[in-house]
Amino acid sequence: MKEEFKLFVSSHPELIKYVNKNEMTWQKFYDMYSLYGDKSEVWNDYIFKKNKTEEKKETSLSSLTEIVDALKKVDMDSVQKNISTINKALTLIGSLLSKDEEKVNYEPRPLYKKFED
């Protein structure tokens, strides 16, 4: 049984980190191994936890790489032209809105009738 446990630990070196950090002891790991075996879900917290975080890191790095690659392909001249076009459109809309506000504030002069119609 001890030899099987040693093989199990050698195939899962991440268990060593838990012992080095004083989060677990070899005795507790051995007790878990003897009670549950090597294929139990008990090991998910210790063995597969690291693999999940590594997968997340790889996924985030690959998505970051994809974003950087996409940014490299962007034509900055066309971006500048689009920004200036949007700026002109916003300026036009702003001027139209300010003209509408002026119309709302406009008060017509009173009519003075000189002749009786």
Dump the DSSP string for 38-76: SSSGGGGGTTHHHHHHHHHHHHHHHHHHHHHHHHHH--H
pLDDT tens for residues 101-113?
Answer: 555 566 777 777 7
Supply the pLDDT for residue 44.
Answer: 81
pLDDT tens for residues 39-79?
Answer: 888 888 888 655 455 555 566 677 888 888 888 888 888 88
Supply the pLDDT for residue 67.
Answer: 85
Residue ranges per structural domain of the chain: 2-73, 76-106
pTM for the whole thing? Answer: 0.41
* Count of beta carbons in the 10 Å neighbourhood of residue 12: 16
